[in-house]
Chain A
Amino acid sequence: MFKYESLKYDSLADLVAIAEKIDMPLSSVVLQEQAETAETTTDAMYQKMAYALEIMRDSVKDGLDPDKRSASGLTGGDAYKMMQPVKEGKNICGKVFGEALTKALAVSETNASMGRIVAAPTAGSCGILPAAILTIAEDRNIPDHDVIMALFTASAVGMVIANNASIAGAEGGCQAECGAASAMAAAAVVEMCGGTPQMCVNACAIALKNILGLVCDPVAGLVEIPCIKRNAAGVGNALVAAEMALAGIESAIPADEVIMAMKKVGDAMSSALKETAEGGLAATPTGKKLCQKVFGCCQ
């Protein structure tokens, strides 16, 4: 029996090494270690993750309502709009991509309209992971078991990012939230599609590289503009990274070094660009006007 005590989630390379040594997917390593650490059974852990998947599915459905609006009234209905051309087979990038965008918008709009979501890793970035895994699972008829297991792989990526950089917009900008979610989703998709542990980590590295430096600049401080559309962009990025990794493309910069770079970029970012609603899109004339509209004064 392999001992998992040494696993600290501070290195994706270490995780890959363990998985390769015992010839198991990343998700099995993570599930075993987490159950041991929490002194519970793997089945209890698995069931809890199965519940998260169920809530994710519900949060997609809830977000497809054309009439649902956010509490502020600023957003809503975009997932429904996105779904129309996809249903008719008219969207330009094909069914899988169109459905992924629809789902990401749906979950994100569910969040903005006070619906129930699973933070993954945060509420602001909650659309990316469900959109990626549910779209690919449906398209390729992947059984729920594999999807649930892939969520453990996604969690491991999230834990390493949280431990070595950040998953909070206020600390690292949007790269920490939508970037982390995108990297988690990319790794999960690769595992679901039969990729190796190293390919999962390559996908994580590629996804993070593509979103490095993205600022967190929510209009009026609300988790709506631009967050909802950035969830759509985030799932697009996750699929881009997963496609490349599954094709055998490697990341020139190893994932662990990309995460270190992400940390340094986040630290170097001005606080105006880290969730304070003082910079970026929040500080545009229209951003300020929308803030005025919701709150009667500019924050």
Chain B
Amino acid sequence: MMLQVFDIIGPVMIGPSSSHTAGAVRIGKYARSILGSEPVSAHICFSGSFAKTYKGHGTDKAIIAGILGMETDDPRIRISMDIAKEKGLEFTFEERDIDGAHPNTAEITLTDYAGKTALVQGCSIGGGNIIITKINDTVVSINGKSDTLVIPHQDIPGMIAVVTKILAEKGVNVHGFSLCRDHKGGTAVMTIEIDGDINESVTGAILENPHIFSCTILKAI
């Protein structure tokens, strides 16, 4: 990879370490965008090395900051817990090892005012980069570097064709695709990584299909 001057002088970031702060902020932010509304409570489970070191590195503050929607260079990250209390976001932490998870893994459960919940698991893999590994019961692999569509739907034949046909018609280029299901005939989830921006007309068209439960655009973070 060709280095640039701003790889050397930069990034502008909140310390002390890119994997323990920037990465954690991004996992929190992703969880918020998957919930798609203002969370009123958050339960965060730290696994592996995160469980052992989160206090010393301020990973807890970073993840709360992300859940509140802050960017990775926001100076308010260090006081995020106070801001959460002001905004009425209740939060709890747990240390529990998640089987087979990357050493720097966090699992976040968010609930909004209406009682809707989202469970998001992600790991911080270094240099501020992350991978979202689980959304609710579905195993995924999303790095958050490009806009991603998450589409839970009924596990019946033809659903991929339905969605990709709409994307083709709208001129949207797909560069990553994965699909998982809980059990045969149950709920399956497509995650589709795309180039460039995506607009609401695409989700509107996708949602017209009765077997599609929802369609969320997760913006690149």
Which A residues are closer than 8 A to B by beta carbons? 9, 30, 34, 37-38, 45, 48-49, 51-52, 55, 70-72, 74, 110-121, 123-124, 126, 129, 151-152, 154-156, 158-159, 162-163, 167, 184, 220-224, 294-295, 297, 299
Contact = CB atoms under 8 A, between A and B. Distances in A.
B8 interface: yes
Contact of A220 (B3, B6, B56): B56
A224 B53 CA distance: 14
B159 interface: no
Given A114-B14, A115-B15, A116-B14, A162 B8 contact: yes
14 contacts: A48-B6, A51-B12, A72-B55, A114-B14, A114-B78, A117-B13, A119-B13, A120-B10, A124-B17, A151-B5, A155-B8, A184-B8, A222-B16, A297-B52
A294 B15 contact: no
Contacts of B9: 49, 52, 118-121, 129, 151, 154-155, 158
Given A162-B3, A294-B55, A295-B52, A71 B8 contact: no
Given A115-B78, A123-B18, A71 B58 contact: yes
B21 to A, nearest CB: 7
B4 interface: yes
B32 interface: no
Chain B interface size band reads 20 to 34
Of the listed residues B6, B16, B18, the one surrounded by the most CB atoms of chain A closer than 10 A to its CB is B16
B13 A70 contact: no
A124 B9 CA distance: 13
Contact of B55 (A34, A151, A295, A299): A295
B114 interface: no
B77 interface: yes
A111 B8 contact: no
Of the listed residues A114, A121, A299, the one surrounded by the most CB atoms of chain B closer than 10 A to its CB is A114
Given A9-B3, A116-B75, A118-B9, A111 B15 contact: yes
A123 B21 CA distance: 11
